[in-house]
Amino acid sequence: MTLLARLRASYVRREAYLVEMRSLAALRPVGASDGVEVRVVTEADVGRVRDFRDQFTEAAFRKMLEDGDLGVFAWVDGQVAGHAWSLFARTTRRRCWGGVDVARGEALLAWGHVRSDLRGRRVWQNVVHDLTRLTFERGATRVVADLPMEHPELHRSMVKMGYTDLGRIEYASFADVMLRRRVTPPA
């Protein structure tokens, strides 16, 4: 990777919806998605993310497993068709994606993705629901998610699931140094 490419990769600018859940008791059920089984990602099956993603995603997932983060796969017809991760803060603070901070004991839901031909079948909702439950069961005191602005349906789905809308977050950072961060409360 060239120096210029590294510099560009160090700069992060993002706008997203921000939601949180502070208790497992707030989690509401979602309708079942036929033929989908959600299971925790293990060392033995982490490579199966390549059923629909690339080797770079697999490498990142292996690193998250090594770091003690929690991932789930959605399995459909024996293949991985979706995934999501909880990134846990084990020190005072963990900065995720360059602008979302979680404190010790908290987790950020991240890397959510569903194979395009299965969208609209509640696969994502089942993945997020089960991951949220497992994250609290693992001891998280708060679960946060930042959702892309270009997908408002994800935001609506999380709120229906019991997440609280915190508004929008905008941030820019360089090499993990916050340049600008603003949270706008919901209207």
Comparing 99 with 18, the larger pLDDT belongs to 18
Tell me which residue has tokens 């033995």: 44
96 pLDDT band, cuts 50/70/90, is confident
List pLDDT tens digits, range 15-64. Answer: 999 999 999 999 999 988 889 999 999 999 999 999 999 999 999 999 99
155 pLDDT band, cuts 50/70/90, is very high
Residues 6+ apart with CB under 8 A from 179: 172, 173
What's residue 181's pLDDT?
A: 87
- CA 116, 148, 19 angle in degrees (round to 5)? 115
CB atoms within 10 A of CB 90: 10
Strand partners, 181: 171
Could you tell me if 41 and 61 are in contact, meaning their C-beta atoms sit under 8 angstroms apart?
yes
- Say yes or no to pLDDT of 99 above 80: no
What's residue 39's pLDDT?
A: 97
Q: How far apart are CA 133 and CA 69, in angstroms?
A: 14
Comparing 187 with 184, the larger pLDDT belongs to 184
List pLDDT tens digits, range 160-186. Answer: 999 999 999 998 988 878 888 899 999
Domains of the chain: 12-184 (3.40.630.30)
- Say yes or no to pLDDT of 98 above 70: no
- Say yes or no to pLDDT of 5 above 70: yes
Average pLDDT, the chain: 92
95 pLDDT band, cuts 50/70/90, is confident
Cα-atom radius of gyration of the chain, to the nearest Å?
Answer: 16
